[in-house]
Amino acid sequence: MKSILHDVLRKAVKLTARQNLVEATRVIQTALSGESRRKDAQFKSVDAREHVRPTKPAAADIGSAFAQLQKGLAAPHASAEGARKALPMGEVLTLLHKGVVPGLAHGLKPHLRPQPQVPTPKGAQFLSRTYSCAAGSRDYKLFVPSKMKSKAKGRKLPLIVMLHGCTQNPDDFALGTGMNELAEERGCFVAYPRQSTSSNQMACWNWFNLKDQTRDSGEPSILAGMTREIMAEFNVDSDRVFVAGLSAGGAMAAILGATYPDLFHAAGIHSGLPYGAAADVASAFSSMRNGASIEAVLAAEMSVRTIVFHGDADRTVHPSNGELIVAAARAGLDTAVEKTQKGRAAGGVAYKRIIIADSRGAPQVEYWAIEGMGHAWSGGHPEGSYTNPRGPDASREMLRFFLA
């Protein structure tokens, strides 16, 4: 059976042959972002189709499809000296990911989520801010709970940094996860960095670039600096600073947990990928569809407490990535005691919860495998994108794990 990827690329080749490069690129971008699957499932209901585990595309299909695509890209750009040479697969993927192809002067306008109105509890604030450093600049929203007093008189409060997924924005993510309401209950600051579309047209965090996987470099440097700036201004408890994210945001949360364990004391990764899963767009694409390399992931173990949520019917990020994040987090423990629980959320969705504790009995890793769920924030609010309100409440469980 031909893979979905092969069919998509074949369509792109036909469009390219007609010199419709804009539409060809859009088709590939849609496939890379999983938009076609999102339209089918909407990630808001659990049905029989979601119980089928993702299939792995055949390598031969991928190779032959990309070979055709390379020829198609070369044809419209022939010069007097002859046709342009076909580009390496990795370069083709990079160009398509950025929304450009050779000879196309501008990128494509991505389908980004609208910025909704986020209700703020009385006495609390939801501030719009910008952070800049040598590595770059990012806007962010900051939730300040009503329990916050002056820095001189008030008690220190925890801080959670929440990283949205592709096409999302801080307001959409805050609304979908409901984290502000929980932070108001528990007395926490919550920061929502916004990925710049000038850095990634789909508003994805660039977790697959090597420079964005390194301490004091690229996006990790920006996000760590932003966190420190908030800590310097507000009464933040430096021992209770945490990071969480969805999808590409989950992958970046894993990176921050691995590269800044002195800053972030726990990481929450929902439908994401492990640190070390990719070195470029081509390997990122493979890891998303097939699962990351075990050797690469275990070589870059997590050293902070980690909680993972992943749907076993996720067709955008292969569920095995969640298992690899757990394996990497567990690898750093001298002694691990494992306990498994099974249950069903109030919305009816079944799950398996694995708790891994250290030799003292303190939980260090939690893994929630959610039956039949696709690429969506479990237990989220339907007003936000990529949520499944029927699953266990990932936001509440992450906050519990962080503050334990």
The string of pLDDT tens digits covering residues 124-168 is 999 999 999 999 999 999 999 998 765 545 789 999 999 999 999
Arithmetic mean of pLDDT over the chain:
80
In the predicted structure, residue 313 carries a pLDDT above the cut 50 = yes
Q: CA 355, CA 339: separation in Å to the nearest integer?
A: 5
pLDDT at res. 54:
41
Residue type, 9: L
What is the rounded CA–CA span in Å between residue 1 and residue 155? 61
User: Are β-strands 136-144 and 125-133 bridged in parallel, bridged antiparallel, or unpaired?
Assistant: antiparallel
Q: Which two tokens stand for residue 274?
A: 């492990």
Residue 296 pLDDT greater than 60, yes or no: yes
Per-residue pLDDT, averaged over 232-261, amounts to: 97
Confidence tier at 295 by pLDDT (50, 70, 90):
confident
Average pLDDT for 295-310: 85
Mean pLDDT over 212-239 rounds to: 97
The CATH number assigned to the domain with range 125-403 reads 3.40.50.1820
The answer on pLDDT for 318 being more than 80 is: yes
Rounded Cα gap, residues 356 and 326, in angstroms: 9
Q: What letters, b where the CB count within 10 A reaches 16 and e where it falls short, cover 53-75?
A: ebeebeeebbeebbebbbebbbe
End-to-end CA distance of the chain: 48
- Which amino acid appears at position 290 of this protein? N
- pLDDT tens for residues 30-66? 655 554 444 444 434 433 333 334 443 333 333 333 3
Q: 141 with 127: CB under 8 angstroms?
A: yes
Report the largest interatomic distance among the alpha carbons of the chain, rounded to a whole angstrom: 74
Q: How far apart are CA 53 and CA 41, in angstroms?
A: 14
Question: CATH 3.40.50.1820 residue ranges in the chain?
Answer: 125-403
How much is the pLDDT for 114? 85
Read off the pLDDT of each residue in 179-200 and give the average, rounded to a whole number.
96
pLDDT score of 393: 98
Q: Length of the chain, please?
A: 404
Q: How much is the pLDDT for 198?
A: 93
pLDDT recorded at residue 112: 83
Q: State residue 147's pLDDT score.
A: 81
